[in-house]
Chain A
Amino acid sequence: MVVYSFYIFDRHTECIYSKSWLPPPSVSSHDPLTNPPTHPQHQQPPPHQPQQPPQSTTTTTLTLTQKQSSDNAKLLFGTVFSLRNMVRKLGGPDDAFISYRTAQYKLHYYETASSLRFVMLTDVSTLSMRNVLHQIYINLWVEYVVKNPLSPVEHKGGEGVRNELFELGLDQFVRGLM
């Protein structure tokens, strides 16, 4: 089982957290969708990769990547939102969209009662990750974000999500699955 990436969208449809476990693409690649989706506000270099592009292009590359990954997140949200609405229309208001897969990847979706949406992209052979997403919600999100006294109620621009405990917990949990 391989986990490619993970996203959280809040009830204002904003992407408040995203993380990729894919190896970072080479600098020469210009395919927008192969770039690791990192969060615009809190750009973090991937841990095991002290990659330093030439000074002159750093700023342009960075802004480009930021824009691309934010576009990517928007595209992703649009997709899951449309599919969720479609599922409700066809399957009844109590129906819930669980996952879809293409020949290349599989997307898992979990929505909480508070309209918080968890999305995970994995390889196609992975079985349902709904439990996993649910556990991320109760064991990581509720514990480290909701119960954190310093965390705001609304996570505008990802504020309060990207704290050390949550990130570390998530990384360990997902790496434990793989």
Chain B
Amino acid sequence: MSQPRPPNAPSASGNPSAPPQKEPSSSHTTGLRYPSNGKTIYHRHLSRSKTAELSQASFAYLFSEMVTYAQRRVTGIQDLEKRLNTQGHPLGLKLLDLLLIREPPRSQSRPLNIITLLHFIKINLWQHLFGRQADRLEKSSDPDAPDEYMIIDNEPLVNAYVSVPKEMSQLNCAAFVAGIIEGVCDGAVFPARVTAHSVGSKEEGEMWPGKTVFLVKFQPEVLEREALIGGKG
């Protein structure tokens, strides 16, 4: 089945599940490469590539280009962060679905209150994206802002190689990750605004210079609903 075939050999021989349209003759001309057994990434089972690892270097270069791209014709740091956020948002929407489907069937339900949602983000999302959990989860101690929660990452993977120039010290490129979180929240119908803030230069700065807080600010209707159901989901 998985025996290598010459690129133009008919696919009908041993691979009935392979759709006929990705007959390698086209790949031959376009330069796209298909695996010899005809199974592209789209044919893989969703749960199977769970443990697949990616090269951090290739991600770093890709991310570097993403930031450079977002910087074009940008009006300011706020605008740049917003663009990065926008790049991450659709990823969050899609990841919510993917991660839920990979859950064991009994816990395979959408998070229904703020705490389960945040735990889902801290554990499942972080594990999937970065291979570890987020470092901490906090609720804002400010009584005026009951809608604010914080997800804390001591050294965000996206910032591993990023040195922000002094004149842009407000910027944190993890705004991209904030966008992903926002996407997950929105997808789970917990509309929120998520922003990334560097706190490394303050206390504990020596230990974790890249420490980042993702501030999750839910919309009022979310809190309203939360109050109605009494936080039980």
- A and B in contact, CB less than 8 Å: no
A: residues with CB less than 8 A from B are none
